Amino acid sequence: MVYLWVFRRFPEESIDPSHLRILIFLKNNGPHTSREIARKLGYSVKYTRSALQLLRRIGAVEVYLKPERGLDSFQGD
């Protein structure tokens, strides 16, 4: 399963600068997978996933299951 992470809001309390960098990336670039975020920001996938989980718990990001087929897949069916 592939999950998409989406920016929701900046937290009111202060957070680690690397977590803030992830939030800014998502806000500016839209939904991405944890692997894509890690690759673009130069973080390990393991670190990125744990940071995203923390950000999810404080309400800064949301996560969605990426559909295997998009609307384009159904044209002409």
Is residue 34 one of the residues assigned to a domain?
yes
Is residue 10 one of the residues assigned to a domain?
yes
Which residue segment(s) compose the domain that 36 sits in?
Answer: 3-66
Query: Is the pLDDT at 74 greater than 80, yes or no?
Result: no
For position 25, which CATH number holds? 1.10.10.10
pLDDT at 73: 57
pLDDT at 70: 62
Is residue 71 one of the residues assigned to a domain?
no
pLDDT at 67: 75
Is residue 24 one of the residues assigned to a domain?
yes
What's the structural domain count of the chain?
1
The percentage of residues in the chain with a pLDDT greater than 70, rounded to a whole number, is: 88
pTM: 0.84
The pLDDT tens digits for 20-52 are 999 999 999 999 999 999 999 999 999 999 999
Is residue 36 one of the residues assigned to a domain?
yes
Is residue 53 one of the residues assigned to a domain?
yes
| DSSP structure string for 3-71 | EEEEE----SS---HHHHHHHHHHHHH--B-HHHHHHHHT--HHHHHHHHHHHHHTTSEEEEEPPSS-G
Is residue 73 one of the residues assigned to a domain?
no
